[in-house]
Copies of this chain bind each other. A is one copy, B any other.
Amino acid sequence: MTESTTTTHPFDDALELERLSAGSYVGRTSAAYNNMVGPFGGLTAATLVRAVQLHPERLGDPISLTINFAGPVAEGEFEVVARPVRTNRSNQHWYLELSQNGEIVTTATALFGTRRRTWDDDEASPPAVPSPTDLDAGGFPEFIAWARNYDMRFASGQLSETESPNSATALWIRDTPPRPLDFASLTSMCDAFYPRVFQRRGKYVPAGTVTMTIHYFATADDLATQSEDFLLGTAQARRFHRGYFDQSAELWGTDGVLLATSHQVVYYKD
């Protein structure tokens, strides 16, 4: 038996919020989760989920989240305000703002709720891909700090300097070091797909997510089943049009159940 230590996971360090009052918090950007410019959007989204989870009036677990990246987040402190807008019997609607120096840099709405047993069906199914042990780790350049916190195994769509006829990608992903999946880390992984325009153009172009919507299917039981194992992620764009494109992503559990989807709009120029 190994001795227990007090070391926390880098993701938990990055998520830390200091409570000012119910629904009002101070957080800090984390160098370990920086993107090319500013923090990794997945971490910002996870921080907003955490802000709701810490609220004393919170009801249930995430059903959906829409986060709008309204302006650049500078390195340093930020303030988060999470307000329960309406509480029903089995669900609850939230509005959130993240600000720096009094200026709003991120907005979000979230729906939390409780679930019940009823007729269930998994209509969609995951794509057939090699298992993670049969794929090489890697796929992101070393200078993308946040990506170093994930063990990624690309089945297709690894970043390359070749133009691709389509934007589809499939990869296995989990935290490194491994960490049991929770709603915050599932949220973060929903944004782990680099802008699809890079894949189509075979090069970096200016691009950034402006809005991302996550739909959660996972229950607490599903998260416990998944634990530290790899998730299978897929993403693809539909249309690149006049400076904005979409990308829809699916995150599948190791046992083939759909845990979450995300749908983004990304600004780009070329």
Are B68 and A120 in touch, CB under 8 angstroms?
no
The reply on A167 being an interface residue by CB < 8 A is yes
Which residue from B109, B119, B265 sits with its C-beta under 8 Å from A215?
B265
Q: Does A95 contact B (CB under 8 A)?
A: yes
User: Is there contact, CB below 8 Å, between B115 and A243?
Assistant: yes
* Whole-angstrom CA separation of A239 from B88 in the bound complex: 24
Smallest CB–CB gap between A62 and chain B, Å? 11
The interface residues of chain B lying within 8 Å CB-to-CB of A111 are 68, 210-211, 265
Q: Is the interface of A mostly helix, strand, loop or mixed?
A: strand
The complex places the Cα of A229 from the Cα of B269 at a distance, in Å, of: 31
How big is chain A's contact interface, by range?
35 or more
A-B contact pairs, 22 of them (CB 8 A): A63-B211, A63-B244, A64-B210, A68-B109, A68-B111, A70-B93, A71-B86, A85-B104, A85-B107, A91-B267, A95-B95, A109-B211, A111-B211, A115-B241, A118-B242, A119-B201, A120-B242, A123-B166, A124-B239, A213-B213, A217-B241, A238-B258
Q: Which 10 A-B pairs have the closest CB atoms?
A: A115-B242, A119-B270, A124-B238, A66-B66, A213-B213, A70-B86, A70-B93, A239-B258, A121-B240, A263-B263
